[in-house]
Amino acid sequence: MFPSEKRSLTRFLIIYMFSTLFLISIGIAIFYRYDYHRLSDYQNEKLKTQTQNLIPKLRELHKSFDEVLYYPVQKGLNSAIYDIDKNYLVGDLKPSPYFKDKMDKNEEFWRDGDYIYYLTKVYPHYLGAAYLISRAKFDPSPINELREKLALFFLLSAIFVFFIAYLLGKLFLFPMKSALSMLDDFIKDTAHELNTPVSVILANTELLKEFYPNLQTSEELSRIEIASKRLSRIYDDLTFLKLNHKRHRNVKEIDLSSLAKERAAYFEIMAKARRIELKAKIKEGVFLRMDFEDAAKLMDNLISNALKYTKPQGEVEIILDEKFLIVKDNGIGIESRYKKFVLRRFFRANDSEGGFGLGLSIVKEIVDYYGFRLDIESEPDKGTKVEILWGD
Amino acid sequence: MGRLIFLIFFAVFSIGGELDRCDSCHLQKAPPFNVIYRKYLVIYSSKRRIEENMVNFLTDPSKQKGVFPKEAKKIFFPKEHPLYDRKEAKEAVRELIEREDLLKKVRVTKPRE
């Protein structure tokens, strides 16, 4: 999967899932509210019926002339009667100070802790009862069961939505994937087709210089060499990006000082041709654990970029120390609005120079792979300083 | 001697409450107090209201203030109810409420099966 494809799919999945699950959540919330009330109402009605059954029993007591009158006590139900002035009369439900408030407000049902309460008016006032308050333990199991069912439903919905979103994403991204795949193949084929002639040109340039020493200083031959080397680097960059994930890195202790000197010498011809002064302050004996090809690519891209965007008579400096590599120039610099894009693949802030916009993208990939730090400081018309730091 | 006997009689009657004066009639012709209290209780609910309405009736009896139906009055009250002054009536009513309080008989336990 291409990184851009992966990124698009992830974004699509997030947006699709978030919006769909948000709508499902609203539906679940409405259903939960409705069913919660239904289940609560069922328990309220049950309590109401039990309480209403007490009133005929109060009537019986009121009419009875027995010496002892037994207040109707029911299992799972507590009740008490209050007179019209809201004074507690009798019952197996202890009086509570807030009951008076409930009687004032004439509230029918309420919840307090684990109990549901019911208040009803009584008339005629048997035993003097004007109010009858009852309570029963609230049974949370149907509500818990409802919550569990809804949670399961939400989970299954999320899984289902994820699969649908994934399939839709794949379906929508298929044309893009095909186009990217074609582009990738095209780059691979083009790079492959370029490699052989470029290698032949470079080899023959070397041979010409060797067989005809008077051509050593030939400007025309130098231009051919520079152009060929540039083509060769483009080929290297393209193959690096294409085969980056498949290439085996041989990470070992390498002599960065020697490599830096070699690369500086390599770019010397190009710098001279562009009338740019290439300075190198390379500390001896700097060793670093990394793949040799990665190190060469890192330096090549930084030096090549610096040379590319430095005007004639300008200056490019390579500084290598124990803990850092700096490549700085006094070239055209990077406009602040482009700074955040320069590390993106195929981004080019300036079309005046050739290239595919791969240089800094490759540098970033290598830096990220080894956990180095990359700092870019740049000011338009003043120059750019790229610093790579490793170690502490 | 006659004066002494009168004093003894007066003292004996004075020991009983205000309600004792009413009992003679209410036990024979008029409805018994427990019935009256239950009637007032079912209508007025609280002791305060019962007292208020009973006293009003006793100090100024009228058909509107009575709690019994017309037919019952014909049977039980061939004569008009005697008048009481407010203080006497209050005392008698409080005594009645205290004596006939139905809630004193109520127990909050399940009767044995």
In a domain, B85, yes or no: yes
Answer yes or no: is pLDDT of A242 > 90.
no
At residue B79 the predicted structure's pLDDT band, cuts being 50, 70 and 90, is: low
Q: What is the mean pLDDT of residues A176-188?
A: 80
Q: How close B39 gets to chain A, by Cα (Å)?
A: 10
In a domain, B32, yes or no: yes
Q: Would the CB atoms of B45 and A84 count as touching at under 8 Å?
A: yes
Q: Which of residues 196-225 of A touch B (CB under 8 A)?
A: none
pLDDT score for A357: 67
Task: For residue B43, list chain A residues with Cβ-Cβ distance below 8 A.
Answer: 124-125
- pLDDT, tens only, A223-239: 788 788 777 877 777 77
In a domain, B41, yes or no: yes
Q: Which CATH architecture has domain A250-389?
A: 2-Layer Sandwich (3.30)
pLDDT score for B15: 41
Q: What is the mean pLDDT of residues A146-159?
A: 95
pLDDT score for B9: 38
pLDDT score for B6: 36
Task: For residue B47, list chain A residues with Cβ-Cβ distance below 8 A.
Answer: 83, 128
Answer yes or no: is pLDDT of A150 > 50.
yes
- pLDDT, tens only, A339-375: 777 777 666 666 666 566 677 888 888 888 889 999 9
- pLDDT, tens only, A286-332: 999 998 888 988 898 899 888 888 888 899 999 999 899 999 998 88
Structural domains counted in chain B = 1
pLDDT score for A209: 83
In a domain, B13, yes or no: no
Average pLDDT, chain A: 87
- pLDDT, tens only, B89-102: 899 899 999 999 99
At residue A194 the predicted structure's pLDDT band, cuts being 50, 70 and 90, is: confident
Q: Would the CB atoms of A124 and B103 count as touching at under 8 Å?
A: no
- The b/e string for A292-318 (b: 16+ C-beta within 10 A; e otherwise) is eebbbbbbbbbbbbbbbbbeeebbbbb
Q: Would the CB atoms of A84 and B43 count as touching at under 8 Å?
A: no
Q: Would the CB atoms of B46 and A83 count as touching at under 8 Å?
A: yes
pLDDT score for B18: 65
In a domain, B110, yes or no: no
Q: Which tokens hold the place of B48?
A: 């305060």
Of the listed ranges A6-20, A29-43, A158-172, A242-256, the least confidently predicted one is: A242-256
Answer yes or no: is pLDDT of B44 > 80.
yes
Q: Would the CB atoms of A73 and B108 count as touching at under 8 Å?
A: yes
Q: What is the mean pLDDT of residues B37-43?
A: 94
Answer yes or no: is pLDDT of A376 > 60.
yes
Domain ranges of chain A: 3-143, 250-389
Q: How close B11 gets to chain A, by Cα (Å)?
A: 33
Q: Would the CB atoms of A125 and B111 count as touching at under 8 Å?
A: no
Task: For residue B103, list chain A residues with Cβ-Cβ distance below 8 A.
Answer: 89-90, 127-128
Closest chain B residue to the Cα of A126, Cα to Cα: B42
At residue B7 the predicted structure's pLDDT band, cuts being 50, 70 and 90, is: very low
At residue A250 the predicted structure's pLDDT band, cuts being 50, 70 and 90, is: confident
Q: What is the mean pLDDT of residues A95-103?
A: 93
pLDDT score for A135: 96
How many CB atoms sit inside 10 A of residue B42's CB?
A: 19
Closest chain B residue to the Cα of A59, Cα to Cα: B42
At residue A391 the predicted structure's pLDDT band, cuts being 50, 70 and 90, is: confident
Q: What is the mean pLDDT of residues B29-51?
A: 89
Q: Would the CB atoms of A126 and B42 count as touching at under 8 Å?
A: yes
pLDDT score for B4: 44
Range(s) of the domain holding residue B55:
18-105
In a domain, B10, yes or no: no
At residue A60 the predicted structure's pLDDT band, cuts being 50, 70 and 90, is: very high
Q: Which of B46, B108, B109 sits opposite A84 (nearest CB)?
A: B46
Closest chain A residue to the Cα of B48, Cα to Cα: A85
Q: What is the mean pLDDT of residues B62-88?
A: 74
In a domain, B30, yes or no: yes
Task: Classify the complex by whether its ipTM is higher than 0.85, answering yes or no.
Answer: no
Q: Would the CB atoms of B45 and A130 count as touching at under 8 Å?
A: yes
Answer yes or no: is pLDDT of A243 > 70.
no
